[in-house]
Amino acid sequence: MKVIAHRGYSGKFPENTMLAFKKAYKAGADEIELDVQLSKDNVPVIIHDEFIDRVADGTGFVRNYTFQELQEFNINKKFGDKHGFNTIPSFEEYLYWAKNKPITTNVELKSGNYYYNELEEKVVEMLRAYEMEKRVMFSSFNHVSLIRCKELIPEIPCGVLTLKEGLGNAGYFASKYHLEYYHPDFRGLTDEVVQNCKDYGIKLNVWTVNDVEGLQKLYDWGCDGVITNYPRLCKNWLNAKEGTETGT
Ligand code: G3P
Ligand code: MG
């Protein structure tokens, strides 16, 4: 089971910052999940919300600031000054860092609350420029964005994100649109949903699981990935588990 660091190592470091990504990598995460939006000057930037208020020392919509203006803000709402000054990374900065590392990336297109002009196109363009097409997947709550990504670059796998309520017959939906993964909220996941995905050959990455009870459940279900704020905890648990299971 793959360990996917949710917004980087966000349990301990400011979410969606280069620091959180570097720490997730050091913690042994197999993959990093990050959220992409567009700045006023159409630069793909890594931040979860459409506005900066929840995480940064500022206020307003991401789309109302140029990338240079966004660099003035410190992502310090959760941890204060403990981790120094952390900026909103550009997607390009992330790709430059990730390019030669043995880690994959789950790029979540944040197009569910505000539909940015050409977010999918800009992201794909940048992935091509950095030759990262084979080392990423897409996910989104806006399934139209995934279908657009499939038109642009069919070889990149896509994950259908849903909230706790999930999507009935998700396995069929994903397979019908050639979307390889289902990414449900753990709180709504049941044996039936898992079976429905298996019936259609759809892989499962589940968010957000931060404790061993949840990990055990995903492991027993045979899920492909756990999306977690605590990648080290998950990695340690899995290493111990697989050591036990194989008798080493
Ligand atoms: O990929 C799982 C997770 O990131 C989805 O929710 O709101 O944290 O982006 P959110
Ligand atoms: Mg996300």
Which pLDDT does position 246 carry in this prediction?
Answer: 59
Helix residue ranges, H only, 63-142: 67-70, 91-98, 119-129
Question: Domain segments of the chain: what residues?
Answer: 2-246
CA gap 55, 73 in Å, rounded: 10
Give pLDDT, residue 42: 98
Phi, psi angles (nearest 5°) of residue 131: 50, 45
What amino acid positions are annotated as catalytic residues? 6, 48
Pocket of ligand 1 (CB under 6 A): 6, 33, 35, 48, 108, 139, 161, 183, 207, 227
CB neighbour list of residue 223: distance below 8 Å, 6 or more residues apart = 1, 194, 204, 205, 206
How far is the C-alpha of 144 from the C-alpha of 148, rounded, in Å? 6
CA of 110 to the centre of ligand 2 (A): 8
Total-model pTM: 0.97
In terms of CATH architecture, what is 2-246?
Answer: Alpha-Beta Barrel (3.20)
Q: How far is the CA of 246 from the centre of ligand 2 (A)?
A: 33
Q: What is the 222 CA–ligand 2 centroid distance (Å)?
A: 22
Mutate to test the pocket of ligand 1, among 6, 104, 181 (most ligand atoms within 8 A of CB): 6
Write out the chain's pLDDT in tens, 248 residues. Answer: 999 999 999 999 999 999 999 999 999 999 999 999 999 999 999 999 999 999 999 999 999 999 999 999 999 999 999 999 999 999 999 999 999 999 999 999 999 999 999 999 999 999 999 999 999 999 999 999 999 999 999 999 999 999 999 999 999 999 999 999 999 999 999 999 999 999 999 999 999 999 999 999 999 999 999 999 999 999 999 999 988 665 65
Q: What local confidence, expressed as pLDDT, does residue 248 receive?
A: 56
Pocket probe mutation, ligand 1, options 2, 15, 33, max atoms within 8 Å of Cβ: 33
For 58, other C-beta atoms within 10 Å of its C-beta total: 15
- The pLDDT assigned to 242 comes to 87
Ligand 1 atom with least separation from CA of 4:
1
Of all protein residues, whose CA lies closest to atom 3 belonging to ligand 1?
A: 207
